[in-house]
Structure 1
Amino acid sequence: MSDSVADNPATRPFAVRLTGVTKTFGGVTALSDVSLDVRVGEIHALLGENGAGKSTILKILNGVHAPTAGRIEVYGEPLDVHTPEAAKRAGIGMIFQEMSLVPTLSAAQNIFLNNEAKDGLGLIDDKAAARRARELFETLGVEIDPKALVGDLSAGQRQLTEIVKAISRNVRVLILDEPTTALSGGEVEKLFAFLRRLKSEGVAIIYVSHRMDEITRIADRATILRDGRHVVTAPMSELTLDRIIEYIVGRRSRGFSDVERRDASRGAPLLEVRSLSGPRKPVSVDLTLYAGEVVGVAGLLGSGRSALARVLFGIDRKRAGEILIRGAPVEIASPRDAIAKGMALVPEDRLRQGLILEHSVESNTSLSILDRLASWLFVSSAKASEAADRQIDGLRIKTASRDAAVRTLSGGNQQKVVIGKWLNAEPDIFVLDEPTGGVDIGSKAEIIALVRDLAARGKAVLVISSELSELLTASDRIVVMSDGRIVSEAARDAFDDPNPNNDVGEQLQFAERKLSQIIQKAHAHV
């Protein structure tokens, strides 16, 4: 690429061009006459609510779906064969929101699956694969054992392995679908540094995320979709956050600023943990959740946040310590025990732990209350339908019907099904691990408003989140974890902006900076 082209992004050639692309599934139109262009050496954000058509475009580019109509060009050449193999030959690599890793294989084996290193005899060379995988992890600045089974990795480590898998081939177009959902702030920074390096080398990057702070930092241009149609394409320098949200949702919205914060009316302790330790993490944690209170848990990847949730819910056995519910000691050796004690968990990984993807929306929302729906040995269809409709209407779940398979829903609507499942059970203690992961900006505020409403109804809520703005909006109190321990605790008002003249957005940014400093300081002292 010449210096003049490199210095003027608008004159760079197109890496990807979609013209008039339409995609229908049966009688449903997912995309209608959509055009998109991405230039060489550009990071292009693709934005829209869940169900806007983003994932459909990505899957068409990656050869998973064929367009019903329209034209696709990659570096000026028409992409007429619509298969994943053809997309790879064209230089397209994709990181799916629904990870494609095989849990029973090692990280290295997953990275080079169908592209295995061979020795002189033509046999698969696992040592060479592990060595090359380690080098690729180092380019991202992360330490992951390439020989570790993917099933044993954390969600963040699996996400980073998925990213390395995509870049293990010489891609010319890299597509990232919600790549930072499971990553800590430090891991996000390493990913961004790597993406900027790829960009400088001429790789075209299509970046999908619901995290607006990421988009404004990393993207050069953005294309926004709504209801399967193209709304606008513009440089990020011409798009304010308010304007982006308005384009996405079709109305003016202030995001988390729309969430009403009422003073908590704290009641009696519902959940207490004393010196609680798990197999590795958490380590000697003391924490109390009161009725009517939302407690946020902050910390970097590996700090022990999700491990705490797993021990509380009986997925991992506690190694030491005590759990009390309503002041009485309890033994929680399994999720069944936790549910019986009035506890619910919205897990970090909804696809593997929160849903049965091939089952219907009705079936999934009924899972937590089958005993209530059953008469003798049979589940009442009428009662199950009523329970499903209650959550579809209350959470505004976008689905063709209650009988639609959950796998056909967008990520945000899948998350609402997980939440709806537990709302039907009416527990008193909610543990929410990344409750808005992969959820569009229009729905994030709805979920956080729901969290506040649960507290107002006397529930105790523990919210684990990597999004600081989400924690600060939802929580009455915030604890910070590092290396499995709680190292800091403060009431929400400890993060208030001392300048009352700043608007709500500026006040939230001040609080985020203050909380981020505490998290980073705690991590530095480990």
Structure 2
Amino acid sequence: MTYEEMAPVVEAVDIGKRFGSTVALDRAGITVRAGETHALVGRNGAGKSTLVDILTGLQAPDTGRVSFGGRAAPPPGDRDAWRRQVACVYQKSTIIGALTVAENLFLNRHDRGAGGLIRWRALRRSARELLAAWSVDVDVDQPASALTVEQRQFVEIARALSFGARFIILDEPTAQLDGTGISRLFDRIRALRAQGVTFLFISHHLQEIYEICDVVTVFRDARHIVTAPVAELDRAALVAAMTGEDVSLAGDTYRPPPPADAAVRVVVRDLVTASGAGASFEARTGEVVGLAGGGSSGKFEVAEALVGLAKPAGGKVTVDGRTLRRGSVPDALAAGVGLVPQDRHRQGLVPLLSIAENVTMTVPGRIGRHGLISPARRDAIAHGFITDLAIKASGPHVPVSDLSGGNQQKVVMGRALAGDPKLLVLVTPTAGVDVRSKQTLLGVVDQVRGRGSVVLIVSDELDDLRICDRVLVMVQGRIVREMQAGWRDNDLVAAMEGVDLDHV
């Protein structure tokens, strides 16, 4: 049987969708066939999210049709029928932390006995059976707030499968996972495929497309551009389809390192986090330092302790001779520390506030005096960042909740830059953003280092780390290796996993 002869699990044909004057989809479509992992890629604003809303019944198309297994999609209001066909695991989890795992799995579907009372023992038994059937190793009695990002994703997948759906949409599932977590997720995807589950996989990390997907569909400017087997579309052709032009993924990564006699601006001495991870290093004027490692390396804990988000158990951080107060974000801001945090949804943005309010909230002294804010001054600062960072918005008063993921991340970057930081800490700065946005965000690093500031990039994304003058590799809470610019991918990945290839 050829690929074209395989039965489609879902088919969307000639889909059109408008929101006022905005064309979200223009005669777009996709066909996902049984048993495959099908990638959907495109720049922010390409129409991916709107298509997902239509495929899951949250939006009705203005034109075109959607079918599942050759049958017309359910009526828009029949949510149970939609859940039996398709489910989406979003980048922002829908798990309710205050409830247990079992309660989340059967929310609004509780097993009830006489008098309508919930049969808790039966509920927990059903939850254990469900998770066991799909090989998800999670305690059903624990509160969902205790789950890791990875575990929440597995629980959401199991919940979707319990409705009978065998078509799962994964929306940026790796955005908050480290390398080890991504490997486990991919193993779980392969195992579920063997059990008859089909996936639509949405990601901005193109290397993941080639690792886990069979077929890729590209959207650009609200239109379907191409669908092809992954093996027949190389990275350059894929990027060209996404952007409409040839775009280098990494660009010219060579930059002269800071001179050996450059002044030391940042000193981290014997820093010990609450979890026991430790770090000591110095950074010179205009230096870009990477901090890399796997899931249990402690790199994120070190970053949070450094910028005041968490109180360290010991050690000190000095910026331009000023020792930061432990666990104090205000003191870090006053000392000239800027931060792009790991999770923009929880730590980086206030969704209902405007771009201008988000960008300037850490620099009240720049937008007013005597406790009074100057809207004109605030908006002028925001306008500057909208232009410099190519934020797609009609103006500074747009709520950040209306922006795409890449543009939201640019707002977070703008806020980090608003105080002209002496130390800029970027934690997984390009997670969940497209190729163009990634280039813009990483391009900021050159501007900051050019002013003599220090940049610390905390990530295990290789493209983030390529622009560093050196990378400090953490394993099990300790810095075990320092790698100068020009490292090979295999060597860095091996070092992050605690393997020395020179002695293998």
Report the TM-score, using the length of structure 1 for normalisation: 0.88
2:119 match: 123
Distance in 2, matches of 1:128 and 1:443, equals 46
Trace 1:86-97 onto structure 2 (pairs within 5 A): 86=80, 88-97=82-91
**Corresponding position: 1:520 with 2:501:** no
* Comparing 81-90 and 417-426, the one that deviates more: 81-90
Give 1:193 shift. 2.3
1:505 match: none
**Corresponding position: 1:225 with 2:219:** yes
Task: Describe the superposition over 1:188-228 as per-residue Cα deviations: whole angstroms up to 9, x where unpaired.
Answer: 22222222233233322111111111101221111111111
Runs of 5+ consecutive residues of structure 2 not aligned to the other structure: none
Distance in 2, matches of 1:32 and 1:49, equals 16
2:344 to 342, 350, 357: 350
Trace 1:83-232 onto structure 2 (pairs within 5 A): 83=77, 85-86=79-80, 88-116=82-110, 122-125=118-121, 127-128=124-125, 131-132=128-129, 135=132, 139=135, 146-232=140-226
Give the length in aligned residue pairs: 497
Matched residue SS, 2:224: strand
**Corresponding position: 1:272 with 2:267:** yes
Distance in 1, matches of 2:457 and 2:156, equals 26
1:490 to 467, 483, 499: 483
Q: What is the Cα-based RMSD across aligned positions, in Å? A: 2.5
2:469 match: 476
Distance in 2, matches of 1:119 and 1:297, equals 54
Trace 1:453-464 onto structure 2 (pairs within 5 A): 453-464=447-458
Contact 1:259 1:449 in 2 (8 A): no
Contact 1:468 1:512 in 2 (8 A): yes
Distance in 2, matches of 1:54 and 1:231, equals 12
Distance in 1, matches of 2:141 and 2:30, equals 40
* Comparing 91-100 and 185-194, the one that deviates more: 185-194
Distance in 1, matches of 2:141 and 2:330, equals 33
The one-letter code matched in structure 2 to 1:355 is: L
The one-letter code matched in structure 2 to 1:277 is: V
Q: 1:371 to 1:185 in 2, by over 3 A?
A: same
Q: 1:247 to 1:148 in 2, by over 3 A?
A: same
1:339 match: 333
The one-letter code matched in structure 2 to 1:489 is: E
1:70 match: 64
Matched residue SS, 1:64: coil
**Corresponding position: 1:248 with 2:276:** no
Report the TM-score, using the length of structure 2 for normalisation: 0.91
2:407 match: 413
Task: Describe the superposition over 1:101-140 as per-residue Cα deviations: whole angstroms up to 9, x where unpaired.
Answer: 223334444344334466896423464366357637x826
**Corresponding position: 1:369 with 2:363:** yes
Q: 1:329 to 1:404 in 2, by over 3 A?
A: closer
Give 1:28 shift. 1.2
The one-letter code matched in structure 2 to 1:335 is: V
1:449 match: 443
Contact 1:43 1:221 in 2 (8 A): yes
The one-letter code matched in structure 2 to 1:128 is: R
The one-letter code matched in structure 2 to 1:518 is: A
* Comparing 302-311 and 341-350, the one that deviates more: 302-311
The one-letter code matched in structure 1 to 2:437 is: S
The one-letter code matched in structure 1 to 2:448 is: L
Contact 1:47 1:54 in 2 (8 A): yes
Contact 2:469 2:484 in 1 (8 A): yes
Contact 1:49 1:226 in 2 (8 A): yes
Runs of 5+ consecutive residues of structure 1 not aligned to the other structure: 496-510
Contact 2:8 2:31 in 1 (8 A): yes
The one-letter code matched in structure 2 to 1:441 is: V
